[in-house]
Amino acid sequence: SQTIHQWPATLVQPVGSPLSLECTVEGTSNPNLYWYRQAAGRGLQLLFYSVGIGQISSEVPQNLSASRPQDRQFILSSKKLLLSDSGFYLCAWAEIPGLAVGTSGRTYNEQFFGPGTRLTVL
Amino acid sequence: KQEVTQIPAALSVPEGENLVLNCSFTDSAIYNLQWFRQDPGKGLTSLLLIQSSQREQTSGRLNASLDKSSGRSTLYIAASQPGDSATYLCASHSGAGSYQLTFGKGTKLSVIP
C-alpha cells in the first residue's frame, strides 16, 4: 500500500533562517506531488506541484522554492523565512494522468495527503 | 477562476442525527470533486471522490452527491457519532490538464454525545 511521510512534524524557526521540509512517498512510482499551505482562517493554498523528477511548477510567487531530486521525494525550501511563512504545510500525491483506473484500485487523480508540518516563524 | 464555498462554517449536532454538509462551486466544468476529513493538527484524509460523470458515491455511513448543473455537492452522514467530529473539506478538480484542487474553507462538525 502507498504511504506518505513528512518531516519534521513541527518546527519553530526565527525570521531570516533557512527552511527545508521533506516529503517522501512509498509504494508508488512517478506520482504527481504537491505542496500546500494551510494558514489559520484560510483554505488550503497550492504552492508547488511536480509531475516528474526535476519538474516543478509554482502556483504562488513567494520566497519559497521546491525541488524533486528523486521520483518519490519532494522538498520545500526557503533561504530566508518571513513571519508570513508560518502555517501548516501539507504534501500530497496522486496517480499520474493516463494510468488506467483500477490499476491500483484508485480513482484517477485522487489526492492523498501526508500528516503535515506545523511551521512557526518567530 | 473556480471558487468553492462551504456553508455553514461550523455545525453542532446531537449524536445519532443524520446531517448534510454543503459545498458549492462557481465553475460547473469540473473534472471531479473530492471530500476530505481533517482532524485538529492532522493531515487530510480522503473520504470520497465523485467523478464528473457520476451523481453520487457511498462509503459506509457517508454518501456524497454531485449536481454539476447547480454547482453543488453534498456530503450526507448517517447516524452521526462523536468520532465524526472533525473539519470536512470539499475540493474541486477542474480538468484533466489541471493539476490543482480548489478547496473550500471547510465545515467544522461537532457531534455531541
User: Residue B45 and residue B37: Cα distance in Å, rounded?
Assistant: 5
User: Residue A34 and residue A46: Cα distance in Å, rounded?
Assistant: 7
Model confidence pLDDT, tens digit, residues A21-38: 999 999 988 888 999 999
B46 vs A113: CB contact, 8 Å cut-off? yes
Place of cell 473534472: B31
The amino acid that residue A91 corresponds to is C
Surface-to-core class of residue B19, CB atoms within 10 Å of its CB (0-12 exposed, 13-18 middle, 19+ buried): middle
The answer to whether residue A83 scores a pLDDT higher than 70 is yes
Q: B34: which chain A residues are within 8 Å (Cβ-Cβ)?
A: 110-111
The answer to whether residue A99 scores a pLDDT higher than 90 is no
Strands A32-38, A55-58: pairing is: unpaired
Model confidence pLDDT, tens digit, residues A55-76: 998 888 679 999 999 999 999 9
Instruction: Classify each residue of A80-107 as buried b or exposed e, where b means 16 or more C-beta atoms within 10 Å of its C-beta.
Output: ebeeebbbbbbbbbbbbeebeeeeeebb
Q: Is B49 on the interface with A (CB under 8 A)?
A: yes
Model confidence pLDDT, tens digit, residues B77-86: 999 999 999 9
